[in-house]
Amino acid sequence: MSQTPILTPDADGIARAADALRAGRAVGMPTETVYGLAADARNGAAVAAIYAAKGRPSFNPLIVHVATLAQAREIAAFPPEAEALAHAFWPGPLTLVLRLRPGAGIAGLVTAGLDTVGLRLPAHPVARALIAAFGGPVAAPSANESGRISPTTAAHVLDPEGGLDGKLAAVLDGGPCAVGLESTIIGWRDGQAALLRPGGIPAEAVEAVLGHPLARATTITAPDSPGQLPSHYAPRAALRLNASAESAAAQGETWLGFGAPGPLSLSPSGDLAEAAAALFDRLRAADRLGRPIAVAPIPDHGLGRAINDRLRRAAAPR
């Protein structure tokens, strides 16, 4: 039995979760990417509770989630490129880092004192219902301990091993996350759009809307996204990349295949969207087996770039 209640996302569950947000407490919120640890973005003490629950270094800014574009415009100014991306991809797995409007009421802890804010309009109906019922902007990082694997089910959020059970008011159960990888983060430096974190919207799709290539995060300076820290999304076990099934078997590793069958295959048919949705769940399942983990090569285009980004960080020395 978990200490933190899991709420069915019916009218009563949404109302209870919105009440908890109003009371300044943190709530597990399903989104189409990963589960978020949500709190009132205008309440510094509530935001502090997020950092405390995650054990997150306090200089990492959080994404603010809104239910409408109008709400987003109250928080940040939208230059034409941001406008175009919001129209193309919202609601959906895209975060825009934009200049914060002075007086928008966002707690300084959310932006870690930066003059920019990460904004996202999620597509998951439960997230949108919760934010609408609450009536204000909601700060939400992924609902996992800092540096660990992101949660894609309500059970992951409360996982007895490294989950957040007892550290939040409730979790709304919105089912497994359809995308399974965090949002793509786009920011602007000197007017130049940059990919700050690959994620659920392929960079190529963003570039198609903009009509030009994105700058890479490495070509711009701090503040960095902590998703950009070398070691992140880390399982407990060691992780080896670009591994064949044969080499994994020879070395006694648990193998996560791609385009091949197997109990922990990311996608037997080699489908990148299916692999993205399965990635964090498979990493957790493999980690529980207690052996080193080896992962098959993943094509490095579309969602594969975001998958490989997460895998490289999960495999990085810690």
Q: 175-186: string of b/e by CB count within 10 Å (b at 16+)?
A: eebbbbbbbbbb
- Could you tell me the two tokens for 116? 């920019």
Which residues, numbered 205-234, are part of the site for ligand TXA (CB under 6 A)? 223, 225-227
- Choose the binding region for Mg ion from 14-22, 39-47, 137-145, 296-304 (rule: CB under 5 A): 137-145
Contact criterion met (CB below 8 Å) for 133 and 14: yes
Nearest distance, CB of residue 119 and ligand TXA, angstroms: 9
Residue 202 lies near ligand TXA (rule: CB under 6 A):
no
CA–CA separation, 239 vs 163, rounded Å? 20
Q: Which two tokens stand for residue 183?
A: 């949002």
State the binding partner of 116 from Mg ion, ligand TXA, none, CB within 5 to 8 A by kind.
Answer: ligand TXA
Task: Give, as ranges, the residues between 73 and 132 that touch ligand TXA (CB under 6 A).
Answer: 93, 95, 97, 111, 114, 116-118, 120
Among 2, 60, 68, 244, binds ligand TXA (CB under 6 A): 60
Binder among 107, 196, 214, 303 for ligand TXA (CB under 6 A)? 196
Whichever of 31 and 142 has its CB closer to Mg ion, that residue is 142
Tell which one of 4, 33, 254, 267 touches ligand TXA (CB under 6 A): 33
Stretch that binds ligand TXA, among 80-88, 182-190, 251-259, 298-306 (CB under 6 A): 182-190
Q: How far is the CB of 254 from ligand TXA (least distance, A)?
A: 26
CA-wise closest residue to 309 among 198, 187, 218, 204: 198
**From residue 125 to residue 164, what is the string marking binding to ligand TXA with x (rule CB under 6 A)?**
---------------xxx----------------------
Given a contact cutoff of 8 angstroms between Cβ atoms, the answer to whether 280 and 151 are in contact is: yes
Shortest distance, position 218 Cβ to ligand TXA, whole Å: 14
13, 28, 30, 61: which one binds ligand TXA (CB under 6 A): 61
In the complex, the smallest distance separating the C-beta of residue 93 from Mg ion, rounded to whole angstroms, is 13
- For residues 16 and 107, the answer to whether their CB atoms sit within 8 Å is no
Residue 25 phi/psi, 5° resolution? -105, 165
The verdict on 185 binding ligand TXA (CB under 6 A) reads yes
If binding is defined by CB under 5 A, does position 142 make contact with Mg ion?
Answer: yes
**Sign of the C-alpha dihedral computed for residues 67, 71, 72 and 78 taken in this order:** positive
CB-based contact 179:276 (threshold 8 Å)? yes
Which is closer to ligand TXA, CB of 127 or CB of 256? Answer: 127
Q: Is 308 in the site for ligand TXA (CB under 6 A)?
A: no
Kind and range of the H or E element at 314?
A: helix 303-315
Taking only Cα atoms into account, the Rg of the chain, rounded to an integer number of angstroms, comes to 19
- How far is the C-alpha of 75 from the C-alpha of 118, rounded, in Å? 10
Return the residue nearest Mg ion (CB atom).
142
- 3-state secondary structure at position 232: coil
Among 57, 11, 12, 36, which Cα is nearest to 177's?
36
Of the candidates 286, 217, 206, the one whose C-alpha atom is nearest the C-alpha of residue 252 is 286
135: CB partners within 8 A, 6+ apart: 18
Site residues, ligand TXA (CB under 6 A):
31, 33-34, 36, 60-63, 93, 95, 97, 111, 114, 116-118, 120, 140-142, 182-183, 185, 187, 196-197, 223, 225-227
